[in-house]
Structure 1
Amino acid sequence: MTIEIKVPVLPESVADATVATWHVKQGDTVSRDQNLVDIETDKVVLEVVAPNDGVISSITGAEGDTVLAEQVIALLEESAGQAKPAAAEAKSQSSSKGEVMDIKVPVLPESVADATVATWHVQPGEAVSRDQNLVDIETDKVVLEVVAPADGSLSEILAQEGETVNAEQIIAKFVAGAGAAPAAAAPAAEAEADSDSEALSPSVRRLLAEKDIDPASIRGTGKNGRITREDVEAHLKGGSAPAPAASTTQPSTAAAPVTGMVDRTEKRVPMTRLRKTIATRLLNAKNSTAMLTTFNEVNMKPIMDIRKQYQDAFEKKHGIRLGFMSFYVKAVVEALKRFPEVNASIDGDDICYHNYFDISMAVSTPRGLVTPVLKDCDQLSLAEIEKGIKNLAIKGRDGKLSMEELQGGTFTITNGGVFGSLMSTPIINPPQSAILGMHKIQDRPMAVDGKVEILPMMYLALSYDHRIIDGKESVGFLVTVKELLEDPTRILLDV
């Protein structure tokens, strides 16, 4: 039997991909689940595995070729050198159609010990197609998707939402080729769903609690009216339909207590793994560093004038808008060159000076704060920095950041100004020794040459580890950033 090897379904917003590396060649014998080829997109690398034992009879997608989702890139001949007796063939087909497969936790990134089952997107008995996302597995930093190995259905879920699991642990049973669960199991599953149609998954409960949303205000689109995470997100964007008028979840006015007291209920939801990690790291940073914060302010008018003058030409040439962050990064890199202590870190009794400039960007995501790293910023142009920041922000929002993109920064920039913060004292991101906080740009009266002028001003805050950075270096660093931002041509002229 000939099986087509196809490009997997690509992530949303990804139009095509590239055949990166073939791990086998034409004529090779392969075993089931063996990695055949790596497919590279601009966001992730996808592995394509053998659906069965057999021989690679043809490879049509060579390394370096651009391919589309579900494009055939190879053919696999199932291993069956001789014809089978009719009875054996029938048995083989029967077992293939109803073959039970294990759904396992993916191999976890290095340094990640375990993970949490975040959200099951299907329930036992539901028919699914090959490569459809079955469940989200949440680690401390990233969310991993586990997809269906073939067309079929889940027969049993072994690890419920919220449970802690290990790498390659079996979390469900899957029946290949089955359009539904066995007849005996289907009615039970349906009855359970009917009796618990209003049940919320842990991830949905967390999101509702974080956003302070009443579940009764959302119309569920999931099975049997269940509210899904997508329903909540649509509601936040204003696209969710109101709950039916006949809903009985809202108490009537007549049933209100005579005292007129408001509803004093409480909501209790478990912390996500990311939130736990953030809490631990921030507490450790406060307790293990001699942290101090120094402030300054910067006149943003020169940069605002440059952006206004060149915005259209910049966007037309580079395909991206010119923001403030590229100027911040350029100014920070130049200041780090002049004050290498701020770019250093403590390793035991040694000070490690970094001769490269990998800048961590604090990004707020629906799951919490993450700090993806833009590497070798000293070698990037303003346009390359803007594109890099946008790419990291999109990946952070979609939970697609890789471990490599979250590790190795030497200095952090956080911009609380996008949320309206006027001033703050940011906390150091260990093992780094400093973090720069940018804030809201606000018109204020300033004295200029003996006259009062209204200027767009922004406060800068540098939190630093006093064990390695003295006041002279911290103040000098901040003044350098201020001077470069107030005279951006110095960034271009390197003066």
Structure 2
Amino acid sequence: MAIEINAPLFPESVADGTVATWHKKLGDTVKRDDLIVDIETDKVVLEVLAEADGILAAIFVEENATVLSNQVLGSIETGSAVPVADIVPVTDSEGLIAAPAARQLAEENGIKLSSIEGTGKGGRVTKEDVVAVVKTKSNALAAAMPVFAVGQRTERRVPMTRIRATVAKRLIEAQSNMAMLTTFNEVDMTSVITLRSKYKDLFIKSHNGVRLGFMSFFVKAATVALQRFSVMNAFIDGNDIVYHGYVDVGVAVSNDRGLVVPVLRNAELMSLAEIESSIAGLGKKARNGTLTIDEITGGTFTITNGGIFGSMMSTPIINPPQAAILGMHTIIQRPIAINSQVLIRPMMYLALSYDHRLIDGKDAVTFLVLIKNLLEDPARLLLDI
């Protein structure tokens, strides 16, 4: 009995997808819920799982091909043995035996076949062997980039992924369709660092292993400020301004496929522990490529942290149709004047990019100053002052 393998049902906002990776090859035995194939859309990578035990009997759509919602990708034979198309391994000049798909994948990732121990019949290097090597590289970003020999004037043309292409398109649209300005300020992180250092162990114990980081303070401060400045939590729709009575904060995360922004729903109702727990869960999904479309759509405000890469200052680009984005940066010990004395304090630059069509400079500056004040005196978050 043959069971069809179908592409996922895409939401209205997603027109089609691309077959990114077949994790099984023709003739492979599959178990129910095994990962069969990845479908990359403009927003996220979707996983297609096996619906039953059997053998992968047919592949109708090859990698890099475009597919529509619910399109048939292949089939699984759940009965006895099924004839399967033969994939002829290729032997190179060094006597290495490898499947064509494995050889191509190794070449695309700059991996020498001689460095891979083949697990196929007769020591044949399979595609799965190459995938395993790519995934175990410690630096995912470096693994995704071509590797060149020193001194050779070579080039390699690699197609952009759908997610990377969509990010590029949306960034250009944001700059072309918005009157975007950026205002800056700096925040003394002494109080937050002291509070975190004092209670981090008790926090972990009280909240079932959830760690207290810096992002939860920024999200909490932002939600308070967004509720007081509703225009920062709005967007322009034609000739209308749409105001939100809730705060859904997107937290920008970079992975080897591009930038994704998982969203914390109703962040204004969350405690610090709930924020940290949600960020940890969504961040793990982002790195593993398992975020759902619902988890990365519908944010009303975005926070991005270039500081994790060492950025001292930047001008973040707004995530349309939102009207503003907050940029965090690295914390640096710097001398500052306090009460006529020069002291060394852990300082961070903040950047707020905003759509000047909707938000006046006064509101933007006052909004950012409020976030600064809340972070420099975290007790104000509890007292709502």
- For the criterion TM > 0.5, the same-fold answer is yes
- Greater length-normalized contact order (CA 8 Å, ≥ 6 residues apart): 2
For the structure 1 residues 356 and 455, does the alpha-carbon distance in structure 2 shift closer, same or farther, using more than 3 Å as the test? Answer: same
Do residues 277 (structure 1) and 166 (structure 2) align?
yes
Residue aligning to 1:311: 200
Q: Is the 8 A contact 1:204 1:228 kept in 2?
A: yes
Deviation at 1:284, TM superposition (A): 0.5
Deviation at 1:178, TM superposition (A): 3.5
Q: Deviations over 1:369-415 (max 9, x none)?
A: 11111011111111111111111111211222222211111110001
Do residues 460 (structure 1) and 362 (structure 2) align?
no
The residue type paired with residue 298 of structure 2 is: G
SS at match of 2:326: strand
The residue type paired with residue 341 of structure 1 is: V
Note the aligned Cα RMSD (angstroms).
Answer: 2.4
Residue aligning to 1:247: none
Cα distance in 2 for residues equivalent to 1:465 and 1:457: 27
Do residues 331 (structure 1) and 221 (structure 2) align?
yes
SS at match of 1:153: strand
Residue aligning to 2:144: none
Q: Is the 8 A contact 2:3 2:77 kept in 1?
A: yes
Do residues 225 (structure 1) and 125 (structure 2) align?
yes
SS at match of 2:164: helix
For the structure 1 residues 347 and 485, does the alpha-carbon distance in structure 2 shift closer, same or farther, using more than 3 Å as the test? Answer: same
Out of 366-375 and 170-179, give the one that drifted further. Answer: 170-179
Q: Is the 8 A contact 1:427 1:463 kept in 2?
A: yes
Deviation at 1:236, TM superposition (A): 2.3
Cα distance in 1 for residues equivalent to 2:102 and 2:176: 38
Cα distance in 1 for residues equivalent to 2:290 and 2:275: 19
| Structure 1: gaps spanning 5 or more residues | 1-98, 239-249, 252-260
For the structure 1 residues 322 and 191, does the alpha-carbon distance in structure 2 shift closer, same or farther, using more than 3 Å as the test? Answer: closer
For the structure 1 residues 274 and 453, does the alpha-carbon distance in structure 2 shift closer, same or farther, using more than 3 Å as the test? Answer: same
Identity across the alignment (%) = 52
Do residues 478 (structure 1) and 363 (structure 2) align?
no
Cα distance in 2 for residues equivalent to 1:326 and 1:422: 20
Cα distance in 1 for residues equivalent to 2:384 and 2:24: 56
Mapping for residues 74-223 of structure 1, pairs under 5 Å:
99-179=1-81, 181-182=82-83, 185=84, 188-191=86-89, 196-197=98-99, 199-200=101-102, 208=109, 213-215=110-112, 218-219=115-116, 223=120
Cα distance in 1 for residues equivalent to 2:265 and 2:205: 25
Do residues 494 (structure 1) and 357 (structure 2) align?
no
Cα distance in 2 for residues equivalent to 1:134 and 1:423: 43
Residue aligning to 2:184: 295
For the structure 1 residues 449 and 349, does the alpha-carbon distance in structure 2 shift closer, same or farther, using more than 3 Å as the test? Answer: same
Cα distance in 2 for residues equivalent to 1:361 and 1:137: 23
Q: Is the 8 A contact 1:129 1:148 kept in 2?
A: yes
Cα distance in 1 for residues equivalent to 2:114 and 2:239: 57
The residue type paired with residue 178 of structure 1 is: S
Q: Is the 8 A contact 1:118 1:138 kept in 2?
A: yes
Do residues 376 (structure 1) and 278 (structure 2) align?
no
Residue aligning to 1:76: none
Among 446, 449, 468, the residue aligned to 2:339:
449
The residue type paired with residue 125 of structure 2 is: G
Count of residue pairs brought into register by the alignment? 368
Cα distance in 1 for residues equivalent to 2:322 and 2:61: 37
For the structure 1 residues 214 and 203, does the alpha-carbon distance in structure 2 shift closer, same or farther, using more than 3 Å as the test? Answer: closer
SS at match of 2:137: helix
SS at match of 1:431: coil
Report the TM-score, using the length of structure 2 for normalisation: 0.89
Among 396, 404, 407, the residue aligned to 2:297:
407
Cα distance in 1 for residues equivalent to 2:347 and 2:229: 25
For the structure 1 residues 148 and 388, does the alpha-carbon distance in structure 2 shift closer, same or farther, using more than 3 Å as the test? Answer: closer
Cα distance in 2 for residues equivalent to 1:221 and 1:384: 45
Deviation at 1:456, TM superposition (A): 0.4
For the structure 1 residues 422 and 218, does the alpha-carbon distance in structure 2 shift closer, same or farther, using more than 3 Å as the test? Answer: farther
SS at match of 1:483: helix
| Structure 2: gaps spanning 5 or more residues | 141-147
Cα distance in 2 for residues equivalent to 1:364 and 1:217: 32
For the structure 1 residues 388 and 153, does the alpha-carbon distance in structure 2 shift closer, same or farther, using more than 3 Å as the test? Answer: same
Q: Deviations over 1:337-374 (max 9, x none)?
A: 22221111101111111121111110112321111110
Out of 459-468 and 319-328, give the one that drifted further. Answer: 319-328
Mapping for residues 357-368 of structure 1, pairs under 5 Å:
357-368=247-258
SS at match of 2:64: coil
